[in-house]
Amino acid sequence: MATNKALQQQSNDSSFSDIWEELKWRGLVAISTDETELRNALKSSPLTFYCGFDPTAASLHLGNLVQLLVMRRLQLAGHNPLVLIGGATGLIGDPKPTSERTLNTKETVADWVERLGTQAQRFLSFEGANSAKLVNNLDWTAPLSSIDFLRDIGKHFRVGKMLSKDAVSARLNSDAGISFTEFSYQILQGMDFLELYRRNNCVLQIGGSDQWGNLTSGTDLIHKVEGKSAFILATPLITDSEGKKFGKSEGNAIWLDTELTSPYAFYQFWLNVEDSNTVNLLKVFTFLSKAEIQDLESQLVAEPHLRAAQKRLAYEVTSLVHSAQAADDVIAASQALFGQGELEQLDKSTLESALRALPNVEAAIGANVADLLVETGLVATVSAGRRAIAEGGVYLNNVRVEDEKATLNDLIMGEFAVLRRGKKTLAGIFSQK
């Protein structure tokens, strides 16, 4: 399967001497095994590398996207990607810092394996000399008996070292404790690297820096069993303005599935990032060149109110994840909602998802506009709503409401209406069912 059109057009930035230099400039190296050896290995010849994604939800999210785009950059530099979907490790889940995971059914995990595999394939090329390959660790884990697992793999792990891993020690010091099931996760991940080393000559694993303990279990196992060295590259965590990482466990995940995060909400997320984070996010999540990003940084400093850098960021990432057409559609919707375009000409699904992201209510034709202002939270009281109308600051479907007793008399496409107070405060109205 070919990668999506937006990624097909990308190439590595020629302003860098090698891929390692580019990864460093983009802030994508938090920690690694021997940097000099890894950089030389990446420069000397194509190598095979992998990243694992556990199906503990129905969709990948922004944290996963960081890894997928690092994989794409390495592939563009000539290296061979293996996308591991954890059909086995997803049945367990790596230890969370605070509590035990809820185990999903085997049927659910199998379904999510398919979903995540399909999503991941959009970001890499599965054609050509260094085509990506999709693998599932259930293929080598399921046939292994518990005795063979303990004899062949478990004997190489020392409990003291396993207890010292950050994820494990955090749980041991919490009220929740840790089960043997989650305690064993690092052994399974270590076995994955060993298997891929044996089957595919895979010598590099990438992942988030919060996974460092699990990542090193693989290099340690390869060294003990095969007497060989392997590499790890860990990326920094991407965090929000409060310093929390983006992910489902934090409750602030931005999903790649349109059913979980609409393209409109996805675009708005990037459009609203703080000035202080924008340049770093451009480096991590786009394939814009160093010169382009530096130009956007200059614009951000000189004219921050124009938000040119955020607009470019939002367009680029939405195009990568959802398509250029989806990005164009949500831009048109954003403009039309604020009176700079025709609402009736918008794509129906885009308009609906935009209104779902706003405060919204259901209403029937004939509903009083002042009441709707209160119901949607645009004003506190009906009298305040009437006053806002009298002052000329209320719009229904981008038409100014003149009468304090005005009612809802038209629905776009027979289903929607846009209520606006002033220039920037919006709400959605849906046809009452």
Q: Cβ neighbours of residue 37 under 8 Å, at least 6 residues apart?
A: 229, 231
Note the pLDDT tens digit of each residue in 119-130: 999 999 999 989
When pLDDT is averaged across residues 392-410 and rounded to a whole number, the result is: 95
Confidence of residue 221 (pLDDT cuts 50, 70, 90): very high
**What's the full length of the chain, in residues?**
433
Q: What six digits make up the tokens of 355?
A: 């209104």
| CATH value at residue 176 | 3.40.50.620
When pLDDT is averaged across residues 152-163 and rounded to a whole number, the result is: 92
Can you give the pLDDT at residue 253? Answer: 84
For residues 181 and 409, what is the distance between their CA atoms, to the nearest angstrom? 60
When pLDDT is averaged across residues 48-56 and rounded to a whole number, the result is: 97
The answer on 307 and 232 residing in a single domain is no
When pLDDT is averaged across residues 365-385 and rounded to a whole number, the result is: 96
Question: Nearest 5°: phi and psi at 166?
Answer: -55, -45
Domain contains 247? no
| CATH value at residue 408 | 3.10.290.10
When pLDDT is averaged across residues 342-355 and rounded to a whole number, the result is: 91
Q: In the beta sheet, which residues pair with residue 150?
A: none
When pLDDT is averaged across residues 141-159 and rounded to a whole number, the result is: 94
Show which of 349, 368, 396 is a domain's final residue. Answer: 349
When pLDDT is averaged across residues 22-38 and rounded to a whole number, the result is: 96
The answer on 315 and 209 residing in a single domain is no
Evaluate whether 191 touches 153 at the Cβ level (below 8 Å): yes
For residues 53 and 67, what is the distance between their CA atoms, to the nearest angstrom? 9
Domain contains 245? no
| CATH value at residue 303 | 1.10.240.10
Distance of CA 341 to the CA centre of its chain: 30
Number of domains in the chain: 3
The answer on 83 and 163 residing in a single domain is yes
CA–CA distance from 404 to each of 368, 372, 390 (Å)?
9, 12, 6
Note the pLDDT tens digit of each residue in 241-267: 677 776 555 556 899 999 999 999 999
For residues 34 and 232, what is the distance between their CA atoms, to the nearest angstrom? 9
Can you give the pLDDT at residue 433? Answer: 76
Q: What six digits make up the tokens of 396?
A: 């229904």
Output the CA torsion sign for 205, 51, 121, 137. positive
The answer on 325 and 188 residing in a single domain is no
Evaluate whether 81 touches 3 at the Cβ level (below 8 Å): no
Q: What six digits make up the tokens of 154?
A: 């478990």
Note the pLDDT tens digit of each residue in 279-313: 999 999 999 999 999 999 999 999 999 999 999 99
Provide the whole-model pTM.
0.90
Point out the least confidently predicted range of 1-5, 154-158, 200-204, 384-388: 1-5
Question: Nearest 5°: phi and psi at 250?
Answer: -90, -10
The yes-or-no verdict on residue 240 having pLDDT over 90 is no
Confidence of residue 95 (pLDDT cuts 50, 70, 90): confident
The answer on 322 and 174 residing in a single domain is no
Structural domain of 409: 358-433
Can you give the pLDDT at residue 96? Answer: 80
The yes-or-no verdict on residue 97 having pLDDT over 80 is no
Confidence of residue 175 (pLDDT cuts 50, 70, 90): confident
